[in-house]
Amino acid sequence: MISVLPIKAFGDNYIWVIKNDNGDTIFFDPGCADSVIKVIEDQNLNPLAAFITHHHNDHTGGISALKEKYKTIIFGPAHETGHETEMELDVILEENDCIEITQLDISLTTIDTPGHTKGHICFHSEDSLFSGDTLFSGGCGRVFEGTPEQMYESLQKLCHLPDDTLIYCAHEYTLANLAFAQHIEPDNCDIATFITHCESLLNLGKPTLPVTLGQEKKINPFLRCDQKSVKKTAENHAGSPLNSDADVFAVIREMKNNF
């Protein structure tokens, strides 16, 4: 049987793990060596590979240890130019590259999602998306290296996946994101309902993730820039009409930075 589990690190990071009953395992964004090694040793895992979405240290900090201790193969993005040293990639991935992991009976396909960083990628399998710092539940990553327009296009690309796709984000930011979502769309009842649901999960010590893409389309303002309610709030803030959904995105992304 295949299972997907989170390893918690640095307070709000999730390092997602896919493993089978034999302990064959792959990791997504192993940012913290100590947390990853503890789980490998405690559960007697065989770390086959790690998949890296982008160059930030909280996603790459455990790479050296995995390579040195377990000879884990590191797959990651082709276009994080200038950050080759910290990623130590064995296999460089371009958009739509497909990696078969026979031990886990899954294949992962690369989706280029620039914006948070210039070379950020996401990994898609049949029913799952490992979205790194591009898509969060209720929100999206900060635009550090790309343009808001690029980030908007990246999120639109993810929106074309099936609605039942399970989104595995790299951070537990959901409740804070939903507070902002409610600020943008005060009359969206789905947001209020989802806040209650997420609060009960967190009270039980469980992650609010994964969440389906279909659910995100109901509550995540950054996937709802075409909705009148979101556009209205953005235009009120900007003080002028906004001509495109990408412009709405840029305004609410900036609002979130100061929320």
**247 contributes a contact to Zn ion by CB under 5 A:** no
User: What are 77's strand-pairing partners?
Assistant: 93
For 124-142, b/e burial (b = at least 16 CB within 10 A) is bbeebbbbbbbbbbbbbbe
* Binding region for Zn ion (CB under 5 A) out of 85-93, 130-138, 197-205, 219-227: 130-138
216 binds Zn ion (CB under 5 A): no
Span from 61-69, 126-134, 152-160, 183-191 in contact with Zn ion (CB under 5 A): 126-134
Q: Is 56 in the site for Zn ion (CB under 5 A)?
A: yes
User: Taking contact as CB under 5 A, which single stretch among the options 80-88, 105-113, 127-135, 150-158 is the one that binds Zn ion?
Assistant: 127-135
CA distance 53 to 110: 9
Tell the smallest beta-carbon distance from residue 117 to Zn ion (Å).
Answer: 7
Stretch of 54-62, 106-114, 197-205, 216-224 contacting Zn ion, by CB under 5 A: 54-62
Q: Which of 89, 86, 84, 143 is nearest to 117 (CA)?
A: 143
Task: Assess contact for 151 and 234: CB atoms under 8 A.
Answer: no
Closer Cβ to Zn ion, 80 or 133, answer by number: 133
Instruction: State which residue, 48 or 63, has the beta carbon closest to Zn ion.
Output: 63
Nearer to Zn ion, 24 or 133 (CB): 133
Using DSSP, state whether 228 is helix, strand or coil: helix
- Rounded distance, CA 152 to CA 157, Å? 9
Nearer to Zn ion, 137 or 233 (CB): 137
Specify the residue, 132 or 210, whose C-beta has the smaller distance to Zn ion: 132
Q: Does 224 bind Zn ion (CB under 5 A)?
A: no
The torsion of the CA quartet 200, 201, 203, 204, rounded to 10 degrees, works out to 120
66-105: contacts with Zn ion (CB under 5 A): none
Token pair 């305004």 is found at 251
133 touching Zn ion, by CB under 5 A: yes
Give the CA distances from residue 220 to residues 21, 137, 201, 206, in Å, rounded to whole numbers and listed in that order. 35, 7, 19, 21
Number of residues engaging Zn ion in binding (CB under 5 A) = 2
Regarding 55 and contact with Zn ion (CB under 5 A), the answer is no
Closer residue to Zn ion, CB minimum distance, 40 or 52? 52
244/231 Cα distance (integer angstroms) = 9
Residues that bind Zn ion (CB under 5 A): 56, 133
